[in-house]
Structure 1
Amino acid sequence: MNTGIDDREGFAAFLLRLRGRGTAPKALVAAFEATPRRGFLSAQFHALAWSDGMLPIECGEAIEGADLQAAVIAALHVEPGNRVLEIGTGSGYTAAVMSRLAARVITIDRYKTLTEQAKQRFEALAISNVIVRQADGSNGLPNEGPFDRIVAWAAFDSLPRFLLDQLSSGGVVIAPIGPEEGEQVLAKLTKVGSRFEREDIGMVRLQPILRSVAMVI
């Protein structure tokens, strides 16, 4: 089996789906193309690297489907000078993609295993503008803002208004809001003065945000 051909075919199918949904800006496509997705997955899932389904990773977590990741990053409108906070490093893939669009990405996860693996992957790809940290992301990173963009890959049970204080003027947060069980609303919150403008951009099923860091893994 020619994995290179399989990978190219998978990426081409992914690109067609993005174009069909109108979420394929050139810079975003180039960032995805430059970031080898299978390198962030266990070997058994390489054939599914560009699929739209969630795939398991370490620590009982999962990597979101490529289409959802692309839709969220497109909606963030990451710009070259931006400072981005990502809550939920996971495999590190989305931070790697955003590193090609932003000035700096700070990505945090409660699991040390995931942050250590992500660091190794960034080093292997010579990505130097991502800072990875094991931290409790349930309150963002209150002492390190302001950020121009914040994205959360875990759901808050109510509107995370505290993130407003961590955003620069005109900054954007994208986060799922809703119950632990069932679907959550994927909300895009833009900071205007001292308030948010909210736009709901879809429905997702992601894990709830967990407080504290994991002590063992």
Structure 2
Amino acid sequence: MSGRVAQQEGLAAMALRLRAAGVVNNDLLKAVEQTPRGLFCPAPYQEDVYSRRLIPLDCGSFMEGCDFAIRLIHCLNVKPGQRVLEVGTGSGFTAGVIGRLAERVLTIDRYQTLVGTAQKNLEKAGIRNVVVRHADGSVGAPGEGTFDRILITAAFDSLPRMYSDHLVSGGTLLVPIMMNETRCRIVRVNRTGSRFDREDLFEAPYLPIVPQLASFL
């Protein structure tokens, strides 16, 4: 079986798993199909592109299992015309899928190596509305204004107020919160005016966020 056929079958199997789990947003599934994950995945792991396993990246980072990554975007409920911030670029795949749904995406990462690789991956995928920036996600996104949706992929000890302040009214923040030293959970925050409503969703594989830019990576 060729690698291309294997990936097509993996994509179809993943779509069936997601639908069975209640992810039935056709626009989202179409965006995933239009963003070939193999372009974002390191060569040694091409057979695992659409699997549930974590895939190692440079700088000690990783790609989430594909089902988990799409589930996050589903929970974010991205709409056309929206401005989205992602904290933790990784391979660029998640930002790429969101870019198929939103007006504009800003994604930031503390590792210059990951920023450079993600930019190349997004260019290969033909995605032009995603801006990749080398920045310290532990301090928010000063000077970037507000966003309709914010996705954070590194865990905080508590809700990060600086990101809540980046939300427009009607906006949604998805952030991993450390419940204790070993457990992390995805939390969704919806803003309505000055009110913030929190909803705890599901366990996550993320590690605590690391402050400051990386020195050499």
Query: Common fold, TM-score beyond 0.5?
Result: yes
SS of match in other structure, 2:101: coil
| Amino acid across the alignment from 2:55 | L
CA distance in 2, matches of 1:108, 1:180: 26
Structure 2 residue 195 is the aligned partner of structure 1 residue 200: no
Instruction: Kindly report the root-mean-square deviation, in angstroms, between the aligned alpha carbons of the 2 structures.
Output: 1.1
- Deviation of residue 161 (structure 1)? 2.1
CA distance in 2, matches of 1:115, 1:197: 32
Map of 2:77 onto structure 1? 77
The correspondence of residues 178-189 of structure 1 with structure 2, limited to 5 A, is 178=178, 181-189=181-189
| Deviating more after overlay: 144-153 vs 122-131 | 122-131
Map of 2:166 onto structure 1? 166
CA distance in 2, matches of 1:197, 1:141: 22
SS of match in other structure, 1:75: helix
Deviations 1:174-194 (A, max 9, x none): 000015741212000001121
Query: Percent identity over the alignment?
Result: 46
Whether the aligned pair in 2 keeps the contact of 1:89 and 1:108 (CA below 8 Å) is: yes
Structure 2 residue 104 is the aligned partner of structure 1 residue 86: no
- Deviation of residue 104 (structure 1)? 0.2
Whether the aligned pair in 1 keeps the contact of 2:39 and 2:124 (CA below 8 Å) is: no
CA distance in 1, matches of 2:145, 2:174: 16
CA distance in 2, matches of 1:156, 1:62: 18
- Deviation of residue 199 (structure 1)? 1.0
Scaled by the length of structure 2, what TM-score is found? 0.97
The correspondence of residues 16-27 of structure 1 with structure 2, limited to 5 A, is 16-27=16-27
- Deviation of residue 23 (structure 1)? 1.1
| Amino acid across the alignment from 1:157 | D
Structure 2 residue 52 is the aligned partner of structure 1 residue 57: no
CA distance in 2, matches of 1:125, 1:72: 21
- Deviation of residue 125 (structure 1)? 2.0
Map of 2:130 onto structure 1? 130
CA distance in 2, matches of 1:180, 1:123: 39
Runs of 4+ in 1 over 4 A off after TM superposition: none
- Deviation of residue 151 (structure 1)? 0.3
CA distance in 2, matches of 1:108, 1:181: 25
Q: Which runs of 5+ in 2 are unaligned?
A: none
CA distance in 1, matches of 2:48, 2:66: 10
Q: Which runs of 5+ in 1 are unaligned?
A: none
- Deviation of residue 162 (structure 1)? 2.1
Deviations 1:109-144 (A, max 9, x none): 000000001111112222110110000001221321
Deviations 1:32-91 (A, max 9, x none): 001110111111100010011111011111100111111110111101110000000000
SS of match in other structure, 1:215: coil
